[in-house]
Structure 1
Amino acid sequence: MLLLSVSTLLLFFSSSGLALQIQCYQCEEMTHDCSTPEFIVNCTVNVQDMCQKEVLVKDDGIHYRKSCASSGACLIASSGYQQFCTGKLNSVCITCCNTPLCNGPRQKKRPQPSAAFTLGTPHVWLHVFLILLSFILC
């Protein structure tokens, strides 16, 4: 019974996101892609659940702004600037993502896994573990 109570609490805390915190790159108006360790910040738990990246094309080159963001604010900003994301002079592109350090440099494409689904996030592994544990104990 105690094990069931503990596993229920673990499941609650992991699925509610209380213990999860995302890390993002953060910089203001940099003329280089500030994706190095000194620009990594911890976002505010339960408030900032996404990373935001702005790419601005100006007369003197490409400028970057990166930060933590709430999903609502980031998605509104990115959709509002979509028409200005042309890649030409005075272009502004805003993107949002929700995995650690995803507002860094574009990753090279990896081959898709052949499995029907991917268990990539830690809380998914916890759910699988707890389900397997309940089968073993029952």
Structure 2
Amino acid sequence: MRLLTVSSLLLSFFSSGLALQIQCYQCEEMMHDCSTAEFIVNCTVNVQDMCQKEVLVKDDGIHYRKSCASSGACLIASSGYQQFCTGKLNSVCITCCNTPLCNGPRQKKRPQSSAAITLNPLQLPMFSVNIFLLMSSILC
């Protein structure tokens, strides 16, 4: 019984997104936003933990570069190019994010997803009781 409970807990943790791999869009010098399924890649586990997006304004239009990145490298690059992010000709903007496919197009504000767990104050005591019962069954 304990093995089943522990296995279920581990499965729910890993299926809830706690695995350390992220998916990002990846393309090099594209004239379009390259945010379609063919450009989705799996980033290197435990190394590339962020998505990076570069927007370059050139003579012939806007160019995009998207990729997986390590948090350190991405944050250093984005802060180093911040002064060049003007939106004008020869502008370079680099942004970093850490949720799946976050280097795609900007999402419009939408209602909260039903997949997210939100507890209102009335549900919190029952949630605590369930966690307590689950933990006590594991420890006994």
Q: Which TM-score applies when normalising by structure 2?
A: 0.73
Does the residue aligned with 1:102 lie in a helix, a strand or coil? coil
Mark the CA change 1:63 to 1:132 in structure 2 (over 3 Å): closer, same or farther: same
Q: Find out whether 1:43 has 2:43 as its counterpart.
A: yes
The unaligned stretches of length 5 or more in structure 2 are 119-126
Runs of 4 or more off by more than 6 Å in structure 1?
A: none
Mark the CA change 1:71 to 1:135 in structure 2 (over 3 Å): closer, same or farther: same
Mark the CA change 1:5 to 1:35 in structure 2 (over 3 Å): closer, same or farther: same
Q: Which amino acid aligns with 2:101?
A: L
Deviation per CA, 1:9-31, whole angstroms, max 9, x where unpaired?
839x85xx5x3311000000001
User: Are the counterparts in 1 of residues 57 and 87 from structure 2 also a CA contact under 8 Å?
Assistant: yes
Q: Aligned pairs, how many?
A: 121
Q: Which amino acid aligns with 2:79?
A: S
Percent identical pairs in the alignment equals: 85
Does the residue aligned with 2:79 lie in a helix, a strand or coil? helix
Once residues 132 and 3 of structure 1 are traced to their aligned partners in structure 2, the CA distance between those partners, rounded to angstroms, is: 18
Once residues 73 and 130 of structure 2 are traced to their aligned partners in structure 1, the CA distance between those partners, rounded to angstroms, is: 38
Once residues 110 and 62 of structure 1 are traced to their aligned partners in structure 2, the CA distance between those partners, rounded to angstroms, is: 27
Once residues 2 and 70 of structure 1 are traced to their aligned partners in structure 2, the CA distance between those partners, rounded to angstroms, is: 38
* 1:132 counterpart residue number: 130
* 2:24 counterpart residue number: 24
The unaligned stretches of length 5 or more in structure 1 are 121-128
The higher radius of gyration belongs to 2
Q: Give 1:56 deviation, angstroms.
A: 0.1
Q: Which TM-score applies when normalising by structure 1?
A: 0.74
